Every structure is written in C-alpha cells, then in structure tokens.
Amino acid sequence: SQQGEEDPQALSIQEGENATMNCSYKTSINNLQWYRQNSGRGLVHLILIRSNEREKHSGRLRVTLDTSKKSSSLLITASRAADTASYFCATAGYNQGGKLIFGQGTELSVKP
Amino acid sequence: EPEVTQTPSHQVTQMGQEVILRCVPISNHLYFYWYRQILGQKVEFLVSFYNNEISEKSEIFDDQFSVERPDGSNFTLKIRSTKLEDSAMYFCASSEALTGMKEGYTFGSGTRLTVV
C-alpha cells in the first residue's frame, strides 16, 4: 500500500455514535496530520501529532499514533450530521521541504 | 481567523494555453505550497517554497510549471501549456513552521481548473 492509506474508505454511522478512521504509512515521519474536506471544498486542518507523541485530544477528536506499527487512528466521539465529510491523514517527513503525503481518505456519512 | 485566499475559484482554459493561479497566503507564514487533487483521487504535493526559492518539488512539477512570489503577499502557480490531464482542483497552502509543526497547514478553498 502507499504512504498514508486510510481505512475504511467509507463509513456510515448514526448521529451520536463514534467514528474511528485508521491510517497507515510506510516511511519515518516528523508528524502526522488529519484534515477534513467537505465535498468540493478546501482542506481544513484538524489535529497534528508529533512522532514522539502517542495520543492527542482536541474537543471531540482523539488521535493516536503508533510509530512501531506506522499507523494512526482518528476517533470522532458523539458524531453529528455536520461531521459528514472526507477525512484524510497526511504525513510530513524529515528533510522533505515540508511536503505532506496524503492518503486516499475516508468518506464519513453521519445520518441524523 | 486568518485565511489563505485563492483566485479564481474556477478557470476554464483551452489546451495549450497558459494559466496563472493566484494565492494570498497568511501574512506571517513563511512556507508556501501548491497541491492538486484530480477528481476522485488523493491530494498530491506539487511544490514547496521558502525564502524565495523552491524547497522541494514532485515529479508532477515538471518544466511546464513554475511558482513565483512576485511581491510580499501573492504566491502564484503558472502552468505554461496546459494539457487535458492538468484538469484538477489546485490548492495553495501556507504554514508558519516547516512541516506545519506549530499548527498544521492552512489551505485555501482551491481553484478548479478545467482544460478543454
């Protein structure tokens, strides 16, 4: 698989449920970031986790990072219909001029 | 909240024509980037720019592409001779720190380029 692969590709849940998205990557990273994209719109930065961090929280978001497994997960708790969007992980490596490598994304649908 | 502004939001151009996509990054950011997203595909890195020069570029960023920061505020992407496969959404981004270490990257809303 390529750098920054998410699964599942699509996730459909009911409002109030938790949504978990996973991301795997191949090379060593400086940090990993999660972005959200509403249909046809720009990317919105959600949360960044550094390579020496294991877990981070921001509001209803919880991200974990396991560098030994080269994987990360994003948990959205108590989801809302407004959380419906595509979610991408993106990795930033070392000495790469700030290049972000994005995954294919997870399309999340939260039904009211 | 500070924004990255991109213009135009949509551009239709004939194959072989030159296009310039414009971006105004956040004023105190030092690092600037262009990405593109072909419909239904992942976001792809094109180029990063710092201190008035290219820091890193991808294989996609060949001789038909160029970037410029002509003044203190604008950051432009020029495609010299557009091809059909250049049709995509082009995103500009900026960051305060390299790799977005402080607060990630701020992306603009994108320019949808259609080459006909």
Tokens 């996730």 correspond to what residue? A11
Give the Cα separation of A15 and A28 in Å (integer).
36
The CATH architecture of the domain made up of A5-111 is: Sandwich (2.60)
A73 burial (CB, 10 Å; 0-12 / 13-18 / 19+) is: middle
Specify if B33 maps to a domain.
yes
How many domains does chain B contain in total?
Answer: 1
Interface test with B, best of A100, A102, A106 (most B CBs within 10 A): A100
Could you give the percent of chain A with pLDDT greater than 90?
A: 80
Q: Are B96 and B102 in contact (CB under 8 A)?
A: yes
The nearest CA of chain A is from the CA of B39 a distance in Å of: 9
Q: Residue A52 forms beta bridges with which residues?
A: none
CATH number at residue B14: 2.60.40.10
Give the Cα separation of A24 and A27 in Å (integer).
10
Specify if B114 maps to a domain.
no
**Mean pLDDT for the stretch of residues B20-36:** 95
pLDDT at B86: 97
Give the Cα separation of A100 and A17 in Å (integer).
30
**pLDDT surpassing 90 at residue B112:** yes
Specify if B47 maps to a domain.
yes
**What rounded mean pLDDT belongs to chain A?**
92
Q: Is residue B65 within 8 angstroms of chain A, CB to CB?
A: no
**Chain centroid to CA B38: how far?**
13
The domain in which residue B84 lies consists of 5-108
Tell if the CB–CB gap between B99 and A103 is shorter than 8 Å: no
Instruction: Indicate the domain borders of chain A.
Output: 5-111
3-state helix, strand, coil in chain A (%, to 5): 5, 55, 40
pLDDT digits (tens, 9 = 90+) for A53-92: 999 999 999 999 999 999 999 999 999 999 999 999 999 9
Considering only CB atoms, A48 lies closest to which of B48, B100, B110, namely B100
Considering only CB atoms, B42 lies closest to which of A40, A44, A104, namely A104
- Amino acid identity, residue A80? R
- Amino acid identity, residue B11? Q
